[in-house]
Amino acid sequence: MTYFSNEINKEIGQYLRGIRKERNLTGEELAKRLNISQQQISRYETGKTKLTFEMMDTILLIFNKSWRDLFNHVIDRYDNERLQCIIKNENNYFAILDKDTKKMWR
């Protein structure tokens, strides 16, 4: 569960960094708006520190984004990564199966 939680925190942080950069806002400028340190913004964006519900809501309001925007981004990224992992594992499985099948028919 910890791995999943850490990955989600990283995705949320990447989303935060992305919307901040879309608006050409520096970490320091966002920090001033939120009355926190620039280092705290950096920790949020790298996923090292979890955002509280209230802080994320405030950030979404600043950037005129919805919770749905955040969830769609995070879920899409997570689902895509999960799908790629499944495809890779299935390809490995079929490669092994193919080798075994060839051995059987010799």
Tokens 């984004």 belong to residue: 65
Q: Where are the domains of the chain?
A: 2-104
50-104 pLDDT per residue, tens: 999 999 999 999 999 999 999 888 877 666 666 666 666 666 555 555 555 555 5
Percent with pLDDT over 90 in the chain: 56
Tokens 């942080």 belong to residue: 13
Q: Which letter, b or e, does each residue of 63-101 get, where b requires 16 or more Cβ atoms within 10 Å of its Cβ?
A: bebeeeebeebbeebeeeeeeeeeeeeeeeeeeeeeeee
6 pLDDT band, cuts 50/70/90, is: confident
Where helices occur in 23-66 by DSSP H, the ranges are: 27-34, 38-46, 53-62
Q: What is the pLDDT of residue 1?
A: 47
CA–CA separation, 94 and 73 (whole Å): 32
pTM of the model: 0.69
CATH architecture of 2-104: Orthogonal Bundle (1.10)
21-51 pLDDT per residue, tens: 999 999 999 999 999 999 999 999 999 999 9
